[in-house]
Chains A and B, each alone.
Chain A
Amino acid sequence: MSSLEAIPLELIDEGRRMASICNACRYCEGYCAVFPALERRLSFAEGDLAYLANLCHNCGSCYYACQYAPPHEFQLNFPKMLAQIRAETYKKYAWPSALARAFERNGLVVSLITAASLALFLLVLTLAIDRSVLFAAHPDREGSFYAVIPHAVMAYAFGAIFLFAIFALFIGSTRFWRDTEEEARDFLKPGPFGGAVADALQLKYLGGGGEGCTYPGEKPSNLRSWFHHFTFYGFMLCFAATCVAAVYHYAFGWEAPYPFWSVPVLLGTIGGMGLLIGPAGLLWLKAIRDPALSDATQTGMDVGFIGLLLLVSVTGLMLLASRETAAMGVLLAAHLGAVMALFITLPYGKFVHAVYRFAALVRYHLERKRALPEIGAE
């Protein structure tokens, strides 16, 4: 057991109670990875529940299928309980631990950081740069962005914060992994790792066992899966755009902005569209979701993250559209401010779900190779 701050005991006890009911029932086995993983266990330690919680997508299929769901006296709302434990794991594994408190009022924290970041960029801009440069209409030619904000400032500031975020997420994932009591080296075993990558790329368990998950309501639907795909692949394309641009800059000495038909701009534009459609759709679905399944205390965290992604895509696309106009300078500052806020909050917001869920999937694939407990037929 780790020395990290434990998940509240009442929540763990409630998790054990519910998992014991599920383990005796097993009707939901075909929906996702959570139930086959649960059935490998005869009892549930905190680390087991943390693992199950991060395998769960809160798709709700098991809740609607549950003969024990409220108002049944067993009051079994399994996905909501897992959501509550999941939120606790974000705090428990956060690094540095002192920043775990960022998860307590996460919507507020993310909003404040975003506001501060936007303000900072605008302030630096207005103070440090000649107004004639800032508000000048820039012909779309190489180097015009850096007339407003020097490249070195962008590269070092963003690079440093991004590296810090990656490091913090890495420590968090090792903390999660240690809690599962798996060997550190097993995380990178090609088979399980590859299986987890495949599952993650296709959101395999966001399919409700084939029909789509019950989100936002009881009727199975693939909407959430699609919007998540838009978000994820949009994010990855934007990230790829940044990487290609970095290569252009450092390897070839080509300075941004690049022409519309260039690789970085195309990737960024398509990615930005994905990052517009996906988060907007997810926000819409969240707004009409069956409230029985949501842990209201997490709404701020979820909306904060999705909203920030939207802010990044909206400012990015606006910047693209107006980069030859006088608005370019302000929009560039807004876009960079939003991206900076996203980087800062990566380890302290809903983004962490990607890391823990992926690690949970790796463990799921590791476990699948092991023998099941030998139990007699019912």
Chain B
Amino acid sequence: MYDVLVLGGGNAALCAAITARRAGRSVLLLECAPKHFRGGNSRHTRNLRCMHDGPADVLTGVYREEEYWHDLLQVTGGETNEQLARITIRHTATCRDWMLGNGVRFQPSLGGTLHLSRTNAFFLGGGKALLNAYYRAAEALGVEITYDTAVTNLNIKDGRFTSAIAVRDGVEHEIRAKTVVAAAGGFESNVAWLKEAWGPAADNFLVRGTPYNMGRVLRILLDNGAKSIGDPAQGHCVAIDARSPKFDGGICTRVDCVSLGVVVNENALRFYDEGEDFWPKRYAIWGRLLAEQPNQIGFAIIDAKAMGKFIPPMFPAVKAGSIRELAVALKLDAAALEATLARFNAAVRPGNFDHSVLDDCRTEALSPPKTHWARAIDTPPFFAYPLRPGITFTYLGVAVNERAQMILQDDRPAHNIFAAGEIMAGNVLGKGYIAGIGMAIGTTFGRIAGEEAARHVVA
């Protein structure tokens, strides 16, 4: 019989396990992935959005609670719980010391991410390095950890957890514990579940993160009386290179040239304003835009003027000497692509191109328009990157209160069930995305869950 059973092996799970263990409780952590792929989507993260009232270690300037809250309110369109959001925001002002104490190290914002230097503290080496540090700390403290262990059922009666059924090496085990912390992520790797929400289009989604977020624990909790939160059809979905692997492609599958060119669908037609706003503010909508196109595919097309002006993607561009040749290489209707680009080029008004501001280079009398950085695509060679929706995480989760206790359908808190991380992130982030918020929620509620579970054991 353990004091605290932690389900999941990512950032939130480790924060909970370490916190509970530091409080003197016996802790068992079940990670369904093999050791090499431990850590869920935290493996692919890189920073934590931090509130701070003055320059602090790697963070520049100030980022106060109200601004942070305003940013969150804006991206979620109000789909957030203010109490829980403010707990998260305030927690990020102080949690860095705790992280440092558990071996995490920070570095200044990376090349190409200067716009995040004020708001986001980057992990030295990224999320996997953070996880390595946490696993080392947890092991040193005496947290028991098992890998390759999938939870198949939880014995829950009237909001009271008694034991978990887990399978390892084909053998079923019943694990009894006084409390349980569910920190097992969302369901973005479960294509069948994604199809329930998105329809057959989900077959063409690429999953940017771990293949292990099958949503098993989330499903079990929802089936056992948890109150759900977040829209099942919402997910953080960006445009990534169509040649990326089905799972686990992570950050380097991104393509950052959309605002420098045009994007067409498989009919060689444009479908959205590529220059609506700065790319860091827009990339999160392009996944959904692509999901709505036939066969969920698009092609970002630029010319020689734009090449080398964005972070080089991992996959080389498809290159051609003319638009016609490019169309052939992309298996698009050559006449249609030529016509689309001719229309676009004719609609471009003269302006002073400046990619660092919302410049005056735009199209006129074109639908959809390109409202900034519109330059004729006329200088060979021409380049294209095929794009598909890349899903990073899902918003559907279980409701929690300020003590990270899971909320039941009748709005009572569950007796000894806590939730942290992506599985409850929808409480704070019901929609949209801002960089570093996932790790902020996971760290905050992971630690709260660990603390509360430890306290519950005493009580």
Contact = CB atoms under 8 A, between A and B. Distances in A.
B248 A72 contact: yes
Nearest to A219: B136
B105 A377 contact: no
18 contacts: A21-B314, A24-B251, A24-B311, A25-B126, A26-B111, A27-B123, A30-B124, A31-B124, A65-B129, A67-B251, A72-B37, A73-B245, A211-B105, A218-B136, A374-B309, A376-B256, A377-B256, A378-B280
A27 B126 contact: yes
A23 interface: yes
A378 B248 contact: no
Interface in A58-90: 61-62, 64-74
Given A66-B128, A209-B124, A376-B311, 7 more contacts: A20-B312, A20-B316, A24-B252, A26-B112, A27-B123, A65-B125, A376-B356
Nearest to A24: B252
Contacts of B312: 20, 23-24, 42-43
Contacts of B193: none
Given A21-B252, A67-B250, A72-B248, A376 B279 contact: yes
A27 B355 contact: no
Contact of A71 (B36, B107, B122, B124): B36
A67 B113 CA distance: 19
Contacts of A324: none
A321 interface: no
A210 interface: yes
Interface residues of B, number: 49
B114 to A, nearest CB: 7
Interface string A207-222: 0011100000011000
Nearest to B126: A27
Given A64-B129, A376-B355, A378-B311, A25 B250 contact: yes
Contacts, number: 132
A-B pairs, top 7 by smallest CB distance, nearest first, are A65-B125, A30-B107, A27-B126, A24-B252, A65-B129, A24-B314, A25-B252
Nearest to B47: A27
A69 B44 CA distance: 12
B115 to A, nearest CB: 5
Contacts of A375: 112, 308-311
A70 B248 CA distance: 12
Contacts of B129: 27, 61, 64-65
Interface in B77-118: 105, 107-108, 110-115
Interface residues of A, number: 40
A198 interface: no
A21 B127 CA distance: 16
A129 interface: no
A68 B252 contact: yes
A255 interface: no
B288 interface: no
B46 to A, nearest CB: 6
Interface in B252-310: 252-254, 256, 259-260, 278-280, 283, 308-310
Contacts of A27: 46, 110, 123, 125-127, 129, 251
Interface of A: 20-21, 23-31, 36, 39, 42-43, 61-62, 64-74, 209-211, 218-219, 372-378
B225 interface: no
Given A20-B312, A30-B107, A376-B260, A25 B251 contact: yes
A67 B128 contact: yes
Nearest to A65: B125
B43 interface: yes
B110 A29 contact: yes
A303 to B, nearest CB: 29
Q: Which of A65, A67, A372 has the most CB of B within 10 A?
A: A67
A365 B269 CA distance: 48
B409 interface: no
A25 to B, nearest CB: 4
B85 to A, nearest CB: 26
Contact of A209 (B36, B105, B248): B105
A377 B46 contact: no
Given A42-B312, A67-B43, A73-B245, A378 B114 contact: no
B126 A28 contact: yes
B432 interface: no
Given A30-B107, A30-B125, A64-B132, A377 B308 contact: no
Contacts of A43: 312
Contacts of A211: 105
A43 B44 CA distance: 24
B180 to A, nearest CB: 28
A71 B36 CA distance: 7
B414 to A, nearest CB: 34
Contacts of B142: none
B278 to A, nearest CB: 7
A341 B213 CA distance: 59
A58 to B, nearest CB: 16
Interface string B236-249: 00000000010010
Contacts of B115: 377
B313 interface: yes
Given A25-B250, A27-B251, A65-B132, A39 B111 contact: yes
